[in-house]
Amino acid sequence: MVNMRRLPFLNGIKAFEAAARLGSFALAAQELHVTPAAVSRMVHLLEQRLGVALFGRTANRLVVTPAGKIYQAGLSQIFDALANLTERVTALGNTRVLTVGVGPTFAIRWLIPRLADFRKLHPDIDVRFTTGGAAAAFGDDWTCGIKLGDGKWPDLVAEPLFPADLVPVCAPALAARLKTPGDLTGASLLRVAHAAGDWPRWLKSAELTKVSAKGPEFEYYGQALQAAADGVGVAMGLLPYIEDDLKAGRLVTPFAHSIPSGEQWFLIYRAFRAEELGFAAFRTWLHAAAQSSRREELPPQARPRVKARGNRSAHGG
């Protein structure tokens, strides 16, 4: 025998949940695109069918009864689950559109220059970028995100892409005057506002206790790196931001001393996205591109060979 599911008055439930959440029939009516009288009528019918009062009506405001509070709490969970389920089903029907949350510097200096390779492999997949810096929360409309961190994001899958090593970089003409890390004493050290600890960490590791980071401050790494390429000073380069500039010779690493930043780059996404064909293709391509970057890492002069001290040559050409 088939069990018949007895569903309650769904229109009344929607009206009650909206009114309880928003605190008035008028606001609920705006959300549901009906009149306040219609909301009141649907809630009243729901109360009749349940046999319990959900609101205590006063002249000036709605007061949710104890029974109403219990009902509202359960309905909020159900509606959240329904919204998530709908998102999953909708995503599966639109697998050829990807929304990637990524910071502007990472997008400009690493991801976008490689996007043509992905387009050649998958010309039918539409990739869209949205703001997703370090402080941005994972967006409900994101297919995935690329973030720098420790890999701990609640309710998200985090797959490591590559480490984020720190190494000073500058224009070739300026590098010719920097024979040892101690020569940074008189140099302009370009800083990034949200990464104030980069220079102090590197200077400490190079045992340059008398050198402090003094120079122009920028909002993003990309701005500081552009200033370094223009000869303004020495910037703290973060992999993979500097990879293409090092290959092209726009920037060089004057010292054979790099250090880990303590964080890594991760691809992050909700587990159900793994079922989407479009995202699966992007994910496979991204990991392959990241693996290529890891193999190349830094040019020879930037790979740690000796411990860099202020009174000891660490110049790598």
For residue 104, give the 3-state DSSP assignment: helix
Structural domain ending residue among the three candidates 36, 64, 92: 92
What pLDDT, on the 0 to 100 scale, is given for residue 43?
92
Tokens in use for 49? Answer: 């069918």
Any domain includes 64: yes
Structural domains counted in the chain: 2
Any domain includes 100: yes
Does 159 have pLDDT greater than 70? yes
CATH code at position 26: 1.10.10.10
Do residues 218 and 241 both lie within one domain? yes
Does 311 have pLDDT greater than 60? no
Structural domain ending residue among the three candidates 47, 63, 92: 92
What pLDDT, on the 0 to 100 scale, is given for residue 317?
25
Any domain includes 2: no
Structural domain ending residue among the three candidates 59, 92, 125: 92
Any domain includes 270: yes
Domain of 317? 96-317
| 91-131 pLDDT, tens digit each | 555 557 889 999 888 999 999 999 999 999 999 898 999 87
Percent of the chain surpassing pLDDT 70: 86
Catalogue the E-assigned strands of the chain.
55-57, 62-64, 97-102, 126-131, 144-149, 157-169, 189-192, 217-218, 234-238, 259-269
Q: What is the mean pLDDT of the segment spanning 194-205?
A: 90
